[in-house]
Chains A and B, each alone.
Chain A
Amino acid sequence: MDHVISARDLRVRDRAKTLVGPVTFSLEHGSTTGLCGPSGAGKSTVLRALVDLLPAGLTRDGELEVQGRPIAPGKGDADLRTKVVLVPQTPVVFGGSILDNALFGLRHLLRASREVMLERAEQALLEAGLWQEVKDRLGESAQTLSAGQRQRLCLGRALALEPAALLLDEPTSALDERSRDTVEESVAALRGRRTVLLVSHDPAQVERLCDRTVLLRPPAAVEPLAVAAAS
């Protein structure tokens, strides 16, 4: 089982109308894959389709396998989403402390002693490159973190679940340049160890961070127009 996720002819539709795709790709274990495409092609929507978090009214089409198991459209459940974890574009920080946030998903899945939980949180935050900055103030409100720190906290709490694959939706688009560099460093550090699908509109970023690239074109219905305009 070398493919963590494989999708064939994946589309997202609003009734009969194809909004996104078709796109075919597979994520190899330990690889970082970039998902590129012009804006409006539906890159973020593809990520949501993979974990069945599409907005109401939209449906997924085509074949999807996660760890060799086929996932029927609309059948993605909480179990799927603990294996394939999506990190949304804008960092969402919940109420409570930094530690509460780092354990946000994990504490629903794992019943363990406080020490074990703390250890898992520490590992995850280390992996996300945030540990050094927050280790002395884990009890402080997570609202005190900067934007870049928040994004790495979101990355960390996703990593704490030990997911089979991580879906990153434009993790740096809401950040300034310096925070972008820190987040990029953290993502780069995952290379080879975690399976990552990274959505980005920035080709240079994909170049820097990814082993390979998947190109998402706008749906076929739009393409002839673009071709006509070009000729």
Chain B
Amino acid sequence: MTRVRPPAAPDVLKRPRPSRWVWPWMLAGAVSLGAVLLALLGYLGSGVAGGEVAWGELLTESMWNPSGGVFGGLAMIYGSAVVCLIALVLAVPVSWAAAVAVSEYLPPRVAGILRTSVELLAAVPSIVYGLIGIMVVRPLIAGAAGVPGGDSLLAAGLVLAVMIMPTMVAVSVDALAAVPGRYREAAYAMGLTRREVVRSAVLPLARSGMRAAVLLGLARALGEAIAVFLVVGRADGRLPGSFGELLDSLVRPGQTLTTKLAGPEPVLAGTSGPWFAAVCALGLVLLALVALATVWGNRGGGRKATGGRSRHPQAGRMRVPLDRAVGGLRIAALLLPGALLVGMLGILAVRGSSAFTPSFWVTPATGAAGGGVSDQILGTLLLVVTTGLISLPLGFGAGILLGLYAKARTAKVLQTLTVVVGGTPTILLGLAGFVIFCTLMGWGRSWLAGALVLVPVVVPMVALPTCGRVRSMPPETTEAALALGLSRAQYVRSVVVPYTWPATLTGLLLGLARAAGETAPLLFTATVFFGAPALPDGVVEAPVQALPTHIFTLSQDSGDPQAVAQAWGSAMVLVLITAVLLSAAVALRNRFEGERWTT
């Protein structure tokens, strides 16, 4: 018989666990974010320093000829600008109107469903948009403009418009929903029509959030490599000289900053010399542009109470008819995103129907484009799970640190840093990872390098919601906990962490949904099209196959019907996987997010 020990008398004055791990944990998260940015800048900076960059030439010369030693980036900057401009011009009005319709016009139940589907669309991997671009948009433009192939700046702009629209609608709806209901009530109570309420009471408060939506969309469009890569044509040195040429250039192939970096050149250029330096300089330009858009978009909504600017040209008569007309237009604005959603899912489901046969999920690929995709699914899952395991503690720690010390100056700097890391074009992450892990550390293509490269994509998506949740904690909770004599670290462990985890988990799932669809950073670092075992053994020279790479490679072979069918099937599988991750995230969020009062 074992002796039963009598329970020890509780020693009240002795703290059971000092929770010393809390500080290192939170700091590790913050440091990891800094490290990513440093690594990125180090990679680009050392590249630029390794060979003299003629910045003047880079920014004003349109010709790019590595063998002749001419490195002009103007045509690429022009390409990026045009592509983003087309995307914004098409997407902004529709997204804003659709967001107002969802938030202010539709009954809450319908609006809730739409919000969820918009978020689903926002999480569709860009490779899927690229695939739709190749198979649907390109032929359309080829037919309409009479240009062979249809690879063009316009095609890229259209694909980007469709791609950023859901993000912009989702962020705008959030901004509108954050306007307290009492403002609407007060305005309705003054006899304002719905249009006037939206314009005078709701939009002024949601304006900064809706502007942020546009800048986030712009950052995403600027940094997108793969979807553009597939449809832009990648022709160097195209710069129009006149207005007529400008219009014509829209339906001709072009090159953007990201597609140049996603092509073979960063690898061909070696690791030093003028060619590599010029490529790195392009990367720096891209990073600076995206960082600018992201930081600006995330600037806190400092609402200034400015007087003046109160034009109300339509006062008096015609209020009610005008109200009806505008309401109708806003609801109609939903048709486009709605049709896109239905159309995209329809195309995916019909052409990717092979994804609905179970054998497609469980048999390995045979030959170039036959069999199933079980290896690719396993590879994707391996990457996603590894990334998740690394990102969760780092993002959670960084988020709590940011949230708790929000007022301190360092926390502000850290938050900007997080936002910038989150907005970094993934192609740059891939290139830096390629140099650091695959070349310098000698891993070659390795699944671990791929997982590590995806970590910076996920960490901010975990850290920022966590931080927001911490800040929304009622101050009384904090006071009550500290009044009970808890140390700071104990307070974090037993009050903050339990309160925050749903937000953290939602962020993680959304981040992983995005990581699962990332293609650009994996192409150089971790994945191969075929010839890798289903699960790698070891780390060095241990690549995997993954769904995004599979789709990317197959979709470039658009002449082969079997390859095309396989690409669609894989895309459907990828969408299903992200949809599962996303619905888990939405379900979680709905559980802890309180109800909203809509009119």
Contact = CB atoms under 8 A, between A and B. Distances in A.
Interface stretch (B179-187, B213-221, B450-458): B179-187
Contacts of A96: 204, 305-307, 310
Contact of B320 (A56, A79, A97, A154): A79
Contact of B190 (A56, A85, A95, A97): A85
A157 interface: yes
A157 B192 CA distance: 13
B338 interface: no
A92 B192 contact: no
Contacts of A97: 305, 307
A15 interface: no
B190 A94 contact: no
B201 interface: yes
A72 interface: no
Nearest to A80: B191
Contacts of A229: none
Interface stretch (B139-147, B311-319, B367-375, B388-396): B311-319
B200 interface: yes
B186 A108 contact: no
Contacts of A86: 189
B305 A161 contact: no
A106 to B, nearest CB: 9
A81 B194 CA distance: 12
A81 B186 contact: no
Contacts, number: 102
B61 interface: no
Contact of A78 (B192, B204, B303): B192
A49 interface: no
Contacts of B305: 95-97, 141-143
Contacts of B303: 95
A77 B315 contact: no
Interface in A42-96: 51, 53, 55-56, 77-83, 85-88, 90, 92, 94-96
Given A96-B305, A107-B312, A108-B200, A87 B319 contact: no
Which of A94, A96, A108, A109 has the most B CB atoms < 10 Å from its CB?
A: A108
Contact of A161 (B191, B205, B316): B191
B193 interface: yes
Contacts of A154: 186
Given A77-B320, A79-B320, A85 B189 contact: yes
Contacts of B541: none
A77 B319 CA distance: 11
Contacts of B316: 109-111
A158 interface: yes
Contacts of B200: 94, 104, 108
Contacts of B307: 96-97, 99-100, 139
B194 to A, nearest CB: 8
A105 interface: yes
Contacts of B320: 77-79
Contacts of A139: 307
A174 to B, nearest CB: 12
A104 B310 CA distance: 10
Interface string B51-93: 0000000000000000000000000000000000000000000
Given A96-B310, A99-B307, A142-B305, A157 B189 contact: no
Contact of A94 (B185, B189, B204): B204
A97 B204 CA distance: 13
B293 to A, nearest CB: 26
B106 to A, nearest CB: 11
Contacts of A87: 189
Interface string B161-193: 000000000000000000000110111111111
A115 B191 CA distance: 23
B516 to A, nearest CB: 37
A86 to B, nearest CB: 4
Contacts of B205: 95
Interface in A189-208: none
B319 A108 contact: yes
A58 to B, nearest CB: 13
Nearest to A105: B190
A81 B310 contact: no
Interface string A155-176: 0011001000000000000000
B598 interface: yes
B108 interface: yes
A88 B315 contact: no
Contacts of B190: 81-82, 85, 104-105, 157-158, 161
Nearest to A94: B201
Residue with the highest number of chain A CB atoms closer than 10 Å, among B107, B189, B193, B316: B189
Nearest to B316: A111
B315 A111 contact: yes
Contact of B189 (A53, A90, A103): A53
B323 to A, nearest CB: 7
B189 A51 contact: yes
Nearest to B312: A107
18 contacts: A53-B189, A56-B598, A77-B193, A80-B191, A87-B189, A88-B186, A90-B182, A92-B183, A95-B306, A97-B307, A100-B310, A104-B187, A105-B187, A108-B315, A109-B191, A109-B319, A110-B315, A143-B305
Given A51-B189, A55-B597, A85-B191, 14 more contacts: A78-B192, A78-B319, A78-B323, A81-B192, A86-B189, A87-B189, A90-B182, A92-B183, A94-B183, A94-B204, A100-B310, A108-B191, A108-B315, A143-B305
Interface of B: 107-108, 182-183, 185-193, 196, 200-201, 204-205, 303, 305-307, 310, 312, 315-316, 319-320, 323, 597-599
Q: What are the 6 closest A-B residue pairs judged by CB atoms, nearest first?
A: A82-B191, A105-B190, A141-B305, A92-B186, A86-B189, A81-B191
